[in-house]
Amino acid sequence: MEVKRVVVTGLGAITPLGNTVTDYWNALINGVSGAAPTVRFDASKFKTQFACEVKGFKVEDYFDRKEGRKLDPYSQYGLAAAQQAYLDSGLEKEKINLDRCGVIWGSGIGGLETFQNEVSGFAKGDGTPRFNPFFIPKMIADICAGHISIQYSFRGPNFTTCSACASSTNALIDSFNYIRLGIADVFITGGSEAAVNESGVGGFNAMHALSVRNDSPQTASRPFDKDRDGFVLGEGAGCLILEELEHALKRGAKIYAEVVGGGMTADAHHITAPHPEGLGALNVMKNALTDANMNADEIDYINVHGTSTPLGDIAESKAILGVFGENAYKLNISSTKSMTGHLLGAAGAIEAMACILAVKNDIVPPTINHFTDDPALDNKLNFTFHKAQKRIVRAALSNTFGFGGHNASVIVKKFQGK
């Protein structure tokens, strides 16, 4: 069957680097780190005492205080990013078929802070169950998608994808597929996460997953550096408006880029460690290229998963060489997690956005915090260390890999017209 073409017509961002798309992008291309000592709670007794927190976010800018109290931070961030993206797109719900508009949202955890606070309050009490009536609606991972659909009266498909750190890339791919198959015209998609709290940091510390470079938070996220010691926890949300091409053209929408392919695989190897040869990562990039009907030499930039973990960075670089061969040396590769930290289920959304803006602006954001080459890596690859690089970016690929062996990759390219 002939499939529809899908374009990006709106963007929204709440990130550790800024609470608008413009601020986020400017910080990325200028190599700004979002890491700092943790302020949300007293982290002095934790192994990791810093994070990439959202800064300057004001609930009252988006909700009245009464409504804001009914939302976990992960939903607050998601709704705020969705509002930005919806306004950016120029959509008007009075002029579109709301039965053909949907919401697919990604979150790896959902309302962790709500869960932590409610259970902690119960444990400190006298055993009498006194729970907030909004405990469950604030905590469940699907609720942000529900809130967004209610806000914009979108009555089409509505659900949440949960695949750890691949969640929002899976949401984007599902939205892309529903549109190109003709099931819907518009999707609000992306993801949000808010795990910078005692439970989130304590849990990841117990796994030895986080950097413990407390003396230098801004340089702690070191993808592809010999001395990397784990990821830096981040939080926030990214939102994209995906739209069927003819639908977008008919209403005169601006178009950032075209979504052309996606891939999804499993490592089927280990609950947290990647396949040592990057097999799942290799297969997911191949699948994305096949889905897009593209050759390896048509990709100019890869925004890698690149979390700054000892095993993960090596496995991903092996996979890139396995897929792209000699073309790998012509690519720009960068890990924007070196600046944003790792937004878990929201990572795919803000990193796909980085790819879209790289394609639109012909500039590749850098990988910062590189000090020492790792002999376990092929250091002839262009990891875009230190500074952004200008180049024509015809197409970009975004990788996200999650605990449980979940892998998802999406490809965007310049919109060339009909």
Q: Report the pLDDT value the prediction gives residue 22, as an integer from 0 to 100.
A: 98
Give residue-wise pLDDT tens across range 160-170.
999 999 999 99
Q: State pTM to two decimals.
A: 0.97
Q: Report the pLDDT value the prediction gives residue 141, as an integer from 0 to 100.
A: 97
Using 50, 70 and 90 to split pLDDT, how confident is the model at 2?
A: confident
Give residue-wise pLDDT tens across range 246-288.
999 999 999 999 999 999 999 999 999 999 999 999 999 999 9
User: Average pLDDT in the 378-407 region?
Assistant: 98
Give residue-wise pLDDT tens across range 293-348.
999 999 999 999 999 999 999 999 999 999 999 999 999 999 999 999 999 999 99
**With 80 as the cut, is the pLDDT of residue 367 above it?**
yes
User: In the chain, helix, strand, coil percent, each to 5?
Assistant: 40, 20, 40
3-state secondary structure (DSSP) of residue 266: strand
Task: Spot the catalytic one: 101, 144, 162, 165.
Answer: 165
In the residue annotation, 342 being an active-site residue is answered as yes
Please state, rounded to an integer, the average pLDDT across all residues of the chain: 97
Task: Spot the catalytic one: 247, 275, 305, 370.
Answer: 305
Contact assessment for residue 265 and residue 404, using Cβ atoms and an 8 Å cutoff: no
What is the DSSP code (8-state) at residue 15? B
User: Average pLDDT in the 134-146 region?
Assistant: 97
Q: Report the pLDDT value the prediction gives residue 121, as an integer from 0 to 100.
A: 95
**With 80 as the cut, is the pLDDT of residue 1 above it?**
no
**With 90 as the cut, is the pLDDT of residue 25 above it?**
yes
- Among 154, 148, 191, 177, smallest CA distance to 244 is for 177
Q: Report the pLDDT value the prediction gives residue 311, as an integer from 0 to 100.
A: 95
Q: Report the pLDDT value the prediction gives residue 417, as an integer from 0 to 100.
A: 84
Rounded Cα gap, residues 101 and 92, in angstroms: 12
Give residue-wise pLDDT tens across range 49-65.
999 999 999 999 999 98
146-152: long-range contacts at Cβ-Cβ below 8 A with a sequence spacing of 24 or more? 147/71, 147/75, 147/78, 147/79, 148/78, 148/79, 148/82, 148/103, 148/105, 148/188, 149/102, 149/103, 151/79, 151/82, 151/83, 152/82, 152/86, 152/93, 152/101, 152/103, 152/188
Q: Report the pLDDT value the prediction gives residue 274, as an integer from 0 to 100.
A: 93
Q: Report the pLDDT value the prediction gives residue 228, as an integer from 0 to 100.
A: 98
Task: Spot the catalytic one: 247, 275, 342, 370.
Answer: 342
Q: Report the pLDDT value the prediction gives residue 131, as an integer from 0 to 100.
A: 96
Tokens representing 224?
Answer: 């592809």
